[in-house]
Amino acid sequence: MTQSVVVQVGQCGNQVGCRFWDLALREHSHVNKTGIYDEALSSFFRNVDSRRSHAGACDVVGGRIQSLKARAVLVDMEEGVVNEILQGPLREVFDSTQLITDVSGSGNNWAVGHWTYGSAYKEVIVDQLRKTAEHCDCLQSFFLIHSMGGGTGSGLGTCVLKLLEEEFPEVCRIVASVYPSAEDDVVTSPYNSVLAMRELTEHADCVLPVENQSLVDIVNKIKHMSYSGNPGSMIKKDTAIISGRGGVSGAQKPFDAMNNIIANLLLNITSSARFEGSLNMDLNEIAMNLVPFPRLHYLVSSLTPLYTLSDVSIPTRRLDQMFTDAFSKDHQLIRADPKHSLYLACALMVRGNVQVSDLRRNIERLRPTLPFVSWNQEGWKTGLCGVPPVGHSHSLLALANNTCVKSTFMELRDRFAKLYRKKAHLHHYLLVDGMEQGCFTEASTSLSSLIEEYTQLDATKTRMIPDPTRLNIAT
């Protein structure tokens, strides 16, 4: 069994990370009733005997659970969120050595995060990453959680990404990036996001973009639905996807519902690597199947079902509905409509009691309605994991490499251009050591060429593409 390490950077990264660890614990305690440290647990947790000073002796699968420690590195350049974690119910899961903090923050400045803190903390971060990696006997992937709009998550986060590539070139780098809303209160967020985008395009294996606004919309929709219940389709108030009930944290904080969605995304993407299933889908298969060209590694994700119907008497329809919903606009974690753009590839990761025939039926049903690129008309990848998420009988995570992702990027580019035309706030960045105006133009060019690549693929959608001529055998 392989292990994964979570690196959470900045305020948003750490808040999402906390929800992830809480829900991961909830999921494993739900599945594992024996109290034995099993393979599945070992993928994200170490088992440590805290009474001994040199921990790690009971890190062997099969022993009793002593004290679970998250395979995580927490980085923030201010102390607020991390201190909250240390006083909260999750404090047992982290060692103080896993935390890397400073006091003054990055002031929403990518350059400060990336260059100033990046060079000051490089050794400490690499050291901690190495230690965490040494505790794994087969490290498969790093999950980086960060936001794009701020200074630390965006700047230092992408610096950590580069360090990961340098230090662990063999280990897959999957990044969950939270994109700011248009009405973001950080004025410089377009700068930070575009500067970060270039790093993501060049150094990540896969990026799972999540838009803040989509999370808000989803949470509002769920809340709205649970209040306006007509008797036939009563929705359980406590939908498992946004609720943290059953976790260690008690009271809910304002962003918890939204952060839980990202946490669930990460739980589902790793489910097949942790639990058994009739069609396993390992983490290294994600990039292999979904990334046809190295730079186009942005995967639009959708989670279904988003809410739990209290009426459970119509199982098949619900199952098929789950597949339909995964392609609808309001289930996507970015604000875009994949159905009206072009699919390069699509993965369906199913959990729970679902058979291959259910999967095939739904692919056959949905296929005609979805436009795929000419050379990948059968671009489906599937995984079946036997263990459903807590609170559901089955669930589906759809990961799509779809050109619709470019709308998010274009919006970002426009907002960037608006600021940059006036050179607004530029001097804050240029004061930082290592930062030059060239960084802005290069980042902007990189984003434009990425958008252009998607546009070119989009253009093939309306054209009839003839099959290329096959090789001829002289007879």
In the complex, the residues that contact another protein under the rule CB under 8 A are 1-2, 39, 137-138, 140, 276, 278-280, 282, 284-285, 287-294, 345, 355-360, 363, 367, 374-382, 467-468, 470-473, 475
DSSP secondary structure letters along 286-319: HHHHH-SSTT--B-EEEEE-SS-BS--S-HHHHH
Q: Least Å distance between CB 349 and another protein?
A: 13
In eight-state DSSP terms, residue 22 is H
Q: Least Å distance between CB 390 and another protein?
A: 21
User: Whats the size of the chain, residue-wise?
Assistant: 475
In eight-state DSSP terms, residue 93 is G
Q: Least Å distance between CB 341 and another protein?
A: 17
Closer residue to another protein, CB minimum distance, 146 or 297? 297
Q: Least Å distance between CB 283 and another protein?
A: 8
Q: Least Å distance between CB 293 and another protein?
A: 7
Closer residue to another protein, CB minimum distance, 278 or 455? 278
Closer residue to another protein, CB minimum distance, 244 or 379? 379
Give the C-alpha separation, 332 to 335, whole Å: 7
Q: Both tokens of residue 447?
A: 């984003």
Closer residue to another protein, CB minimum distance, 54 or 317? 317
Q: Least Å distance between CB 399 and another protein?
A: 11
Give the C-alpha separation, 359 to 328, whole Å: 18
Q: Least Å distance between CB 289 and another protein?
A: 4
3-state secondary structure of 103: coil
HSE of 296 in the Cβ direction (CA atoms, 13 Å)? 23
What phi, psi does 150 have (nearest 5°)?
-85, -155
Q: Least Å distance between CB 363 and another protein?
A: 5
Closer residue to another protein, CB minimum distance, 233 or 355? 355
**Which residue bears the tokens 């700068």?**
191
3-state secondary structure of 191: helix
Q: Where are the beta strands (DSSP E) in 148-305?
A: 172-179, 206-211, 300-304
In eight-state DSSP terms, residue 245 is T
Cβ neighbours for 210, distance < 8 A, ≥ 6 positions apart = 176, 177, 178, 179, 261, 262, 265, 301, 333, 334
Pairing outcome for strands 300-304 and 394-402: antiparallel
Closer residue to another protein, CB minimum distance, 127 or 137? 137
Closer residue to another protein, CB minimum distance, 171 or 266? 171
What phi, psi does 43 have (nearest 5°)?
-65, -30
Closer residue to another protein, CB minimum distance, 197 or 287? 287
What phi, psi does 73 have (nearest 5°)?
-125, 125
**Which residue bears the tokens 């907002």?**
415
Q: Least Å distance between CB 398 and another protein?
A: 13
Closer residue to another protein, CB minimum distance, 103 or 138? 138
CB atoms within 10 A of CB 3: 21
Closer residue to another protein, CB minimum distance, 49 or 165? 165
Cβ neighbours for 299, distance < 8 A, ≥ 6 positions apart = 206, 207, 208, 209, 286, 290, 399, 400, 401
Q: Least Å distance between CB 470 and another protein?
A: 6
Q: Least Å distance between CB 255 and another protein?
A: 34
**Which residue bears the tokens 């060429």?**
449
Closer residue to another protein, CB minimum distance, 23 or 286? 286
